[in-house]
Structure 1
């Protein structure tokens, strides 16, 4: 599979909205951090060691899947910066891997649910993403691949501490479980701060759409575990499952409360956002994300009926800076991106062939 397959604009399978509680939970991700015994960790190894690790890991993975040919291998340093950014925006690689200067790579499954990042913070980052709330199912898939790799690779493991990792916060299971959630009602009713504080008491954390260090965009949050040592994988999964179920209930309650007490205000907000998406000429990524969040909530509440969820999911991908430029086929300045982003949204949400003002538009000059 060539790289162009993974750079396409269509939303990946984990964004199909068909998973359990898909109106609130966009996706479930499991990530396992592993290192190879006998090699220095990525923070201190040489370029030659980095290449050796990549060769060993890639060969092991391709041998495991040599009949099915599930994974395709790509070297990060051979990708232009824009292509790396697109893969980050599709959650196929991490922002850290995209910035790596020493030799690094990624192996991607055709359906984009599985990836193995090589020489990120650790030698291996095994990642699995599924739609909706599927913690047990996602962990099972990631654990199966991890078990197959462990038969062929000498993992760095200590009987007392578990899997050894570059960062002490990952030592033990090396497991990070996260659930990406759309929480507009809790945000609008100013309850999200209380949710964040509650999660901290349970050893969990709220992050932005691209994980650690990223900001909340479009009322989308990642809920994940912080503790990897002292708990089993099953305990981590169960604890996160229980917390996420509670947050889902709170979000549903907040939605119904807003609908009961402020229906006209909500209808106005949702339809204004849809109008902006359909007819605006300039859109920043922040404004686009906010409008898409409002429209998505309107769809979930049955107020907006003519916008398919799969189109909204595709728009969430399209509005990102890397994708806008990938779609345009050239590097764009910020204002040019905002103009082209608005054009893409009009095409997706307005069927602009029906609007005479949109016909024949080919110029996007500032």
Structure 2
């Protein structure tokens, strides 16, 4: 079955994906940081068994799914799930019983005993927050039919961290912002949106910096606003950022087309013929090639799925492709070979 990130979507020149996450806890258990080993095991078993008893109904909502016992997985398997954004690093590193329920296309995942008892995540390519919220809420309602959530009439859903209390909703849109990044506009943009209860962080890299110019834009406020208001605020801001990015790209190409054309072709040449390459260098070059495709500097019969390639060349997922553990040097050679073979021949425009 194709994965969600293999789908092409509108606005793919800027928007990579949308994600909805709902944080929930159950009234009968302490918050996850306070769970004993026995309680953590009972929690995971109870949720898993509840879902299995009504599997047909749940599959009507999400499609085919399976349960993955994270605590029993190898370190590479866990890291590969983190790299594909199915689970968080926090879940991967937990020593208590944990698990994840995920669909075959990886568009829906339910993390068990992460920071909260359950985190419902729905993700898709493109900007689709409202349909994703509808799906996440359907899963939420399905679970609450039999299991009682920790809920306060004044505060809303009770969560392990005060930053999630209320709706428990974290909505986010992953975007590709090369022109704003190249132009040094990101720090100002991050400061501006923070005043509107929205955060921007680099997906790959530390702090505000991001390899491949990929950023995640998310709501900060989860209480005092409805779910729809939170999402509409985020969509309005992202629409403005998309416009800024496209305008900046047009300016860069108008002012120095030869420079960026050369960068795109150089990047393509390196990835087509390199014999070894690091993750960071490959990500940077893929981002430059994507810029070339989006700007119609280069083209091929079939446009590559750049985000799919970016996830595939991460260390753990690359080792899964290889089917074995591999050291840094072996991974660098394998990464280069994979990209040599994955990039299509260019056509003349």
TM-score computed with the length of structure 1 as normaliser: 0.89
State the 1:292 CA deviation.
0.6
Q: Please say which of residues 248-257 and 48-57 is displaced more in the overlay.
A: 48-57
| Aligned match for 2:122, one of 123, 128, 133 | 128
CA deviation map 1:252-300 (0-9, x unaligned): 1011111111111110010111111101112111111111111111101
2-structure distance, mates of 1:175, 1:70:
24
After superposition, the Cα gap between the structure-2 partners of 1:188 and 1:212, relative to the gap in structure 1 and judged at 3 Å, is closer
1-structure distance, mates of 2:54, 2:241:
39
Structure 2: where are the runs of 5+ without partners? none
8 A contact 1:16–1:310 mirrored in 2: no
- Residues 68-217 of structure 1: matches in 2 within 5 Å? 68=59, 70-209=64-203, 216-217=210-211
2-structure distance, mates of 1:316, 1:263:
26
| Aligned match for 1:13, one of 4, 23, 27 | 4
After superposition, the Cα gap between the structure-2 partners of 1:191 and 1:214, relative to the gap in structure 1 and judged at 3 Å, is closer
2-structure distance, mates of 1:175, 1:211:
25
Structure 1 residue 291 and structure 2 residue 285: aligned? yes
1-structure distance, mates of 2:156, 2:206:
23
Q: Please say which of residues 55-64 and 93-102 is displaced more in the overlay.
A: 55-64
8 A contact 1:17–1:309 mirrored in 2: no
1-structure distance, mates of 2:305, 2:235:
28
Q: Please say which of residues 342-351 and 101-110 is displaced more in the overlay.
A: 342-351
| Aligned match for 1:33, one of 23, 27, 37 | 23
After superposition, the Cα gap between the structure-2 partners of 1:118 and 1:260, relative to the gap in structure 1 and judged at 3 Å, is same
- How many residues are aligned here? 341
In structure 1, the residue corresponding to 2:80 is in which secondary structure?
helix
After superposition, the Cα gap between the structure-2 partners of 1:304 and 1:341, relative to the gap in structure 1 and judged at 3 Å, is same
CA deviation map 1:304-351 (0-9, x unaligned): 102733443331122101111112222222222212111111111267
State the 1:211 CA deviation.
10
State the 1:205 CA deviation.
0.9
2-structure distance, mates of 1:265, 1:52:
60
In structure 2, the residue corresponding to 1:83 is in which secondary structure?
helix
Q: Please say which of residues 148-157 and 214-223 is displaced more in the overlay.
A: 214-223
After superposition, the Cα gap between the structure-2 partners of 1:215 and 1:64, relative to the gap in structure 1 and judged at 3 Å, is farther
Q: Please say which of residues 288-297 and 212-221 is displaced more in the overlay.
A: 212-221
State the 1:23 CA deviation.
1.6
| Aligned match for 2:241, one of 238, 243, 247 | 247
8 A contact 2:200–2:208 mirrored in 1: no
Structure 1 residue 221 and structure 2 residue 215: aligned? yes
In structure 2, the residue corresponding to 1:103 is in which secondary structure?
coil
Instruction: Give the aligned partner of residue 330 of structure 1.
Output: 324
TM-score computed with the length of structure 2 as normaliser: 0.93
User: What do you get for the CA RMSD once the two structures are aligned?
Assistant: 1.9
In structure 1, the residue corresponding to 2:265 is in which secondary structure?
helix
